[in-house]
Each structure stands twice: as C-alpha cells, then as structure tokens.
C-alpha cells in the first residue's frame, strides 16, 4: 500500500537530503534504477549544497518537497522568472519512479505557481536528447516552444558532458484554475 504524499517547502536543514536525492535521480549508478537518468549524457554533479541553499534562501525561488512515511521521495525547484513560474530539479527517488509520484509533484508545483505565485504559465528546460522525458511532459500538457538553449559546456557545476551536441528544449504549459 502506498502512503499519501505530504508536501512542504524545504528549509536549510533539508539541503544535504535534497542534494542526495537529486544526485541519485540524475547521475551515477544509482540513477540507472529509474528511467530519468542523465548518466548516459553527463558525468559529474547535478547540483551541490551551495546551489540548493541559494534556491531555498532566494527571494524568488524555493524547493518544494514530497515526503512519504517521513522519507523524502521527490522535490522540485520553483522560481518566479518574470510572469512565468520556472520548474527545475524535478526529481523522484529512482526506485519509486513510475508510481505516480512524478505526476503528483509536478501537479503540486503547478498549484504553487498558480495559487501562491499568481502566475498562469509554467516553464522548464529539458536536455533535448531526453526525448522520453520530453514526451512525458507533453502528456502532462506541456508544449515545445521551439526555443532551444545552449548547454553550458564551460560550467562544470552543470556536469561533465559525455557528448558535444547537448542543448535544452524549452517547454511551457498554460495553467488553468483547478
């Protein structure tokens, strides 16, 4: 039986657990237990304590967490960027992927953008080669904007690329009152 998810905003005490969750969801051997791994595209880190701390302390950003039976199982970065809510670091623990948690944390993030931030659009960037993940977001109502952004090859904080053709696709969704 799956326990209900409990959502809350992250505090500074959560920083190490968030970094561990995000790293396990995207990079290294642990990430291969789920379907959202970037391990074939990138080595190195996905985030660090400095970045997560900045998101939590930022005036325009925060991290929303999902717990199940007191265990951190998912997180999402939510940031106000002008008239759009930007989503990032959407992470579900690899062994819990494909159980509806991703859909739930995404819906929670959209609710926060709409209800708490008063914004009507959500935006995200996804590495263009991750077509399975992009298709998943499209099934959740996101659309490709046609905008592509360069991958920051010169910033090791974004990982160590295993190939030189990486780029980001920009996806957006119009949020409707629920």
User: Residue 68: CB partners within 8 Å, gap ≥ 6?
Assistant: 2, 3, 4, 5, 6, 96, 101
Q: Which CATH class is domain 6-174?
A: alpha beta
Confidence check: pLDDT of 3 > 80? no
**Is residue 1's pLDDT more than 70?**
no
What are the tokens at 70?
A: 């007191």
Q: What is the DSSP letter of 157?
A: G
User: Across all residues in the chain, what is the average pLDDT?
Assistant: 94
Residue by residue, DSSP assigns 3-45 as PPPEEEE--GGGHHHHHHHHHHHHSHHHHTTSS---TTTEES-
Structural domain spans, the chain: 6-174
> Sheet harboring 167-174: ordered strands across?
6-9, 61-68, 71-81, 84-92, 121-127, 167-174, 143-150
Q: Mean pLDDT throughout 149-161?
A: 90
Given this model, what pLDDT does residue 63 score?
97
pLDDT at 33 over 70: yes
C-beta separation of 163 from 54 below 8 A: no
- Mean of the pLDDT values across residues 159-164? 93
pTM (two decimals): 0.94
> Element (H or E) spanning 119, and its range?
none
Q: What is the pLDDT of residue 178?
A: 65
């Amino acid at each position: 039986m799956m326990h209900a998810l409990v959502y809350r905003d992250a505090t500074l005490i959560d920083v190490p657990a968030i970094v561990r969750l995000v790293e396990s969801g995207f990079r290294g051997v642990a990430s291969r237990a789920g379907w959202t791994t970037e391990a074939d595209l990138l080595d190195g880190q996905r985030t660090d304590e400095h970045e997560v701390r900045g998101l939590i302390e930022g005036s325009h950003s925060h991290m929303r967490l999902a717990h199940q039976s007191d265990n951190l199982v998912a997180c999402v970065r939510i940031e106000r960027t002008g008239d759009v809510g930007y989503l990032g670091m959407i992470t579900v623990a690899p062994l819990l992927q494909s159980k509806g948690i991703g859909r739930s944390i995404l819906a929670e993030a959209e609710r926060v953008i709409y209800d708490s931030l008063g914004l009507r659009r959500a935006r995200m960037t996804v590495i263009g080669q991750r077509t399975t993940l992009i298709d998943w977001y499209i099934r959740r109502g996101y659309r490709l904007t046609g905008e592509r952004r360069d991958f920051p090859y010169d910033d090791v904080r974004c990982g160590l690329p295993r190939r030189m053709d990486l780029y980001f696709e920009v996806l957006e969704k119009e949020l409707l009152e629920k």
